[in-house]
A and B are shown apart, each in its own frame.
Chain A
Amino acid sequence: MIMRHPNRRHEAVLSAVLLVLALFIGLINPGFFSAEAAFDLLRSSTVIGLFALGVLVALVAGGIDVSLPAIAAFCLYTTALFGGAFGVADHPVLALGLAGLTGAVLGTMNAFFIHQFALPPLIVTLGTASLIRGGLLAFVGTRIVTDLPESMAAFSHPAAFAGSGPGGAPVGGLVVSFLMFAMAAAGVAFLLGRTTLGRGIHALGGAPESARRMGLPIARLRFIAHGLAGFLAGLAGLAHASQMRNANPFDLVGTELTVIAAVVLGGASVAGGRGTVTGTVLGVLILVLVETGLVIVGLSSQWHKVVLGGILLLSVATTVRRVSRAAWREGMA
């Protein structure tokens, strides 16, 4: 019973950190302990959270994806511009389908380059990120769409626990996009943990050569993993646009760093093959909370970047230490 589930231990530590952070912020600003603040926190976690699920899947499959924010920008903008032509404007589910599908197609483009030419995923997704973002601005448009189709705006409407603000307008509450995130998290957790497909993705990411020898369908696993990451990025784009109440093709630049920091903080291995949805969600919540804390304490935004970089390095370093300790134990056995 000594080494039972190292993930669980890590997640327990993260939960403790989350709790301490919340208490700390609550001490400075007692208004933090309110349902409204909690819903606010969850809403702020939605976009990063969806990205994080995508990055998690890519990491577990032995890759990484820094193109997700670019994919999201592409999806949200094209859905807002052209959605009407496909009748998407009529129903949120259709908007979700179009954005998600566009993302999935772009994600499989990543998989194509990674698999077909055996290129490092970081370089491929750096390239496609630039390609997608540049292509969007060059060929699709640069005008910010302010009259967002109702089907997209619907994602920021309260789904439950809404209060009433002045004039009777709904305020706060759990928004639809958060429910989408929660369902996506449950779906990804089920896929990675409970399906043979998900275990195959773990196997591929942890030891590609072993996976090849086992005869696992490596191409299919890669396409599914990166396609799924792209799909989740499409959803993230939708959530983002609905929260902003516009579709801005220049948005979401630089989000990838925050997302990767959250996922790595959540215990996913940058070397592939390991990572959990629980850890990732905890990582996202911690990062959002840290950012909230920095705002409350009154530190300026450049400090956010310093803290973010620090968290990223620290969590990667502790992962590496965990791994080398395991190797040390093995050497002693």
Chain B
Amino acid sequence: MALLEIIGIRKRYDGVCALDDVSMRLEAGEVHCLAGENGSGKSTLIKTLAGVIHPDSGQILLDGRVLPPLRPPDARRLGIQVIFQESSLFPQLSVAENLAMGGARLSGFVNWRVIRRLAREALAKLEVEIDLDQPVAGLSTANKQVVAIGRALLQQTRVLIMDEPTAALTGRDVEVLFSVVRRLKESGVAILFVSHRLDEMLRISDRFSFLRGGRLVATGPAADFDHAAITRHLTGQDPSPPPPRGGPRNDDPLLRVRSLRGAIVQDASFDLAAGEIVGITGLRGAGQAELALLLSGARARTGGEVLLAGASLPNGDLPATLAAGIAYVPEDRLTEGLALDQSLAFNLASATLSSFGGWGGLVRGTDIAAHAQHWLNDLGVRAPSPKLPVRALSGGNQQRVALGKWLCTRPRVLILNGPTVGVDVGSKRAIHDRLRALASQGLAVLLISDDLTELAESCQRVLVMHQGRIADTLIGDGWNDRTLAAQLNQLR
């Protein structure tokens, strides 16, 4: 008998079928990976199990018994704990209180001694040490995840559901999380693990289930699926082969960076030629983001020089740098890249708004609409109308809009930071294809990423940063994502 079983779950939103007759089983002591692109119905399924939303029809069985319609506290009481992608923590409250928050009763008095004891026990179970009195806002992303898991474990947990737990984690942090997951698995907890990252899914999961368009398209033991099969089930198409990796370019470089210093970046020098895609990676906080900010003029450099086609760029002047032809697509599209409540059309026009100025500085709405339609087609954004707010789109489509916003400045150098973080496999491929096409037309691309597969598939060269310096440059065919991972591990 399966620990948790769902049978024939259906859920419609405004006539759109989010879940269509989905059935699956979850055994005690297994790590089950639920895979699917954005909009495939994963989130709806998780929310159904958490009691946040109610299915139109179908049943949920725990230990073979049919459960009544659930509310979140009911699900938790039954031992179904969900750790959501956007954290469910309380940033202002202390680690101890966040951990103890699970038993949400609202009558009675708080006993801080009991709270601290519970919190210590929870962290001891996970074998991690975190200062209990610290506000959660001050924790690293990995430790926030640990607190969220610890909170779930403080209650009796039989099914632990994790939505994209590794999305914001890098390298060692993922290992910490996985060792916790394995420990839970050994203690007989059923774990439903949702992730976009194929490598991680293959490493941790016992079974796979694939959702596409609200339907369960495949399910089976992890050994039955390889990379190609996973991509096929996710997208419904076969994966495209990576393009051949070019050697180092001998052309006259378009961008020359000489002894660049500023923030934590120290003495960075490299060249970037037109048509080249160069990756930048390193441990978290090694200076990749700062390098991008310095190059884009968002931050003033304290030393060194940046030359674009031989001309020196002004220091710390983003508008001038953009006008000169260097565009920067920031890492966090939600807070830095896009105005989420504004329309697609406005967002696409916002980087070049002055070019839409008509008589008396008024904006010509028809031009903006035409411009938007052109770029939406060009980028393959599926949206019913350019008047929709960006918020209404999936992560992948949002990222394409962010890319489009900067592409229409007609840059000569494009700097991207984590362009496919939190993006589904289909959109990811579309973005990569697009970057390659742009590069072949002569754009120089600087790709900052933690996704080593992405770097291996897209880049001709990769610069490895460490403690603010460019520690190594990988050229030619002598490296791949595995050697790069090993190299990064040695830097720790």
Give A residues with C-beta under 8 Å from B: 2-6, 193-200, 202-203, 205-207, 209-211, 213-217, 220-221, 269, 272-274, 323, 326-327, 329-333
Contact = CB atoms under 8 A, between A and B. Distances in A.
B93 A3 contact: no
B359 interface: no
Interface in B10-63: 50-52
A326 B139 CA distance: 9
Given A194-B109, A203-B90, A206-B90, A214 B101 contact: yes
B104 A213 contact: no
A332 B73 CA distance: 36
Given A203-B93, A216-B104, 6 more contacts: A2-B131, A200-B104, A213-B52, A214-B72, A220-B106, A273-B92
Given A215-B71, A273-B91, A196 B105 contact: yes
B97 interface: yes
A220 B143 CA distance: 32
Interface in B87-108: 87-93, 97, 101-102, 104-108
Contacts of B223: none
B73 A330 contact: no
8 contacts: A194-B109, A194-B110, A199-B101, A206-B93, A213-B72, A214-B102, A326-B135, A332-B285
Contacts of A333: 139-140, 143
B76 to A, nearest CB: 7
B92 A206 contact: yes
Contact of B110 (A199, A221, A269): A199
Nearest to B142: A333
B137 interface: yes
Given A196-B110, A213-B52, A216-B104, A273 B131 contact: no
B331 to A, nearest CB: 11
B171 interface: no
A196 B89 contact: no
B101 A207 contact: no
Given A195-B110, A217-B106, A330 B90 contact: no
Contacts of B82: 213
B72 A274 contact: no
Interface string B300-332: 000000000000000000000000000000000
Nearest to B52: A213
B133 interface: yes
Contacts of A202: 90, 92-93
**Taking chain A's interface residues, is the majority helix, strand, or loop, or is none over half, making it mixed?**
helix
B73 A207 contact: no
A195 B137 contact: no
A333 to B, nearest CB: 4
Contacts of A221: 106
A273 B101 CA distance: 14
Given A4-B133, A196-B105, A196-B108, A207 B90 contact: yes
B138 A196 contact: no
B86 interface: yes
A5 B131 CA distance: 11
Contacts of B107: 196-197
**Taking chain B's interface residues, is the majority helix, strand, or loop, or is none over half, making it mixed?**
loop
Contacts of A210: 87-90
B134 interface: yes
Contact of A273 (B51, B90, B108, B285): B90
A323 B92 CA distance: 10
A259 B148 CA distance: 37
A5 B139 CA distance: 15
A195 B90 contact: no
Contact of B138 (A194, A269, A329): A329
Given A215-B71, A215-B76, A207 B106 contact: no
A269 B107 CA distance: 25
A269 B47 CA distance: 31
A216 B106 contact: yes
B110 A5 contact: no
B106 A196 contact: yes
Given A210-B90, A213-B88, A330 B140 contact: yes
B108 A195 contact: yes
Interface string B63-91: 00000000111001000001010111111
Nearest to A203: B90
A330 B110 contact: no
A194 B91 CA distance: 19
B110 A331 contact: no
B110 A193 contact: yes
Nearest to A273: B92
A295 B131 CA distance: 47
Contact of A215 (B73, B84, B86, B139): B73
A326 B108 contact: no
Contacts of B104: 196, 200, 214-216
A213 B110 contact: no
A203 B139 contact: no
B72 A207 contact: no
A196 B86 CA distance: 24
A207 B90 CA distance: 6
A330 B108 CA distance: 34
Contacts of A272: 92
B461 to A, nearest CB: 27
Most B CB within 10 A of own CB, among A2, A214, A216, A329: A214
Given A194-B110, A206-B91, A210-B89, A3 B133 contact: yes
B492 to A, nearest CB: 14
A311 B381 CA distance: 49
A203 B138 CA distance: 16
Interface in B444-482: none
Q: Top 5 nearest A-B pairs by Cβ distance?
A: A215-B72, A333-B140, A273-B92, A206-B92, A215-B73
A217 B92 CA distance: 19
Nearest to A60: B92
Contacts of A195: 108-110
